[in-house]
Amino acid sequence: MALSSAQPYLCCVIRLRAIQQILQWEWALEYRRSNGWFLPLLFAAMVGYLCSLLVREPSPTVWLALLWMTMVFSALQTALRSFAATPGQWFYLNQLVAPTELLVGKTITTALNCLLVTWTGLALFSLWLGWPHLPEEMGQVPLWPFILSLSLGAIAISSTLSFTAALASKIERGTGIMAILSLPLLLPTLLIAMRASKLALLGTPIAELYPNWAGEILMAGLPLALGGLLFPYLWRS
């Protein structure tokens, strides 16, 4: 009886260990393939610098649109690279972990890379484009709600793109399939994230930001839930 009562706990530990193995494996690949994390950062730096040459004192809406465009393209590149594997690597992963564990592990990897690009892009945009011009009567606006909105939005976008990349990875000519699948899923996520970050940037009271943050969290969890249902069937095919 004691053994059977401990089985759910042991299963949880095994799954956490499997996800940890995936993260270690992904880190080893990224470390050996240095351009994996360098290219998205270089892309963010180039976009920020070019925008500083073309746009002078952008409005908050334009400033946020440029920042989110950089984040989305960087996350797209990271998600595509994360699920690009040779048949031998897929066979190895098939022996190592379950499909759901693989999806969760690679989603976490994509989210961490996207957060790195987000924070770096925010620093570079602030350096080269300057902080968006806000009305003087708004006074001092706290920074942490804006950073939290950006971070939650980056995680939600990473989750959506990882879900579509996981499905496309098992389909022939999956890149085109991913583009088709990503658009209807990414659009509401991006709209919610942009609204949350804009309200936070303009100093909206914290209580009014809670629904937007909840929407970002929902859009981060929904692709994982759908992926947990659909990805195992494609994995076995």
Q: What local confidence, expressed as pLDDT, does residue 10 receive?
A: 38
Instruction: Report residue 117 as tokens.
Output: 């690009």
Across 14-28, 39-53, 108-122, which has the greatest mean pLDDT? 108-122
Tell me how far apart the alpha carbons of residues 165 and 169 are, in angstroms, rounded to a whole number.
6
Q: What local confidence, expressed as pLDDT, does residue 234 receive?
A: 72
* Helices and strands counted in the chain (H then E): 8, 0
| 129-154 mean pLDDT | 79
Checking if the pLDDT of 212 tops 90, the result is yes
Q: What local confidence, expressed as pLDDT, does residue 44 receive?
A: 78
Checking if the pLDDT of 133 tops 80, the result is no
Asked if 128 contacts 49 with a C-beta cutoff of 8 angstroms, the reply is yes
Query: Which residues constitute the domain of residue 59?
Result: 2-236
- What type of residue sits at position 63? W
Checking if the pLDDT of 11 tops 70, the result is no
Checking if the pLDDT of 156 tops 80, the result is yes
Window from 70-79, 134-143, 147-156, 197-206 with minimum mean pLDDT:
134-143
Give the total number of structural domains in the chain: 1
pLDDT band at 46 (very low <50, low <70, confident <90, very high): confident
| 152-178 mean pLDDT | 80
Checking if the pLDDT of 139 tops 70, the result is no
Q: What local confidence, expressed as pLDDT, does residue 176 receive?
A: 64
Q: What local confidence, expressed as pLDDT, does residue 77 receive?
A: 78
pTM over 0.75: yes
Average pLDDT, the chain: 78
Asked if 216 contacts 153 with a C-beta cutoff of 8 angstroms, the reply is yes
Q: What local confidence, expressed as pLDDT, does residue 173 receive?
A: 59
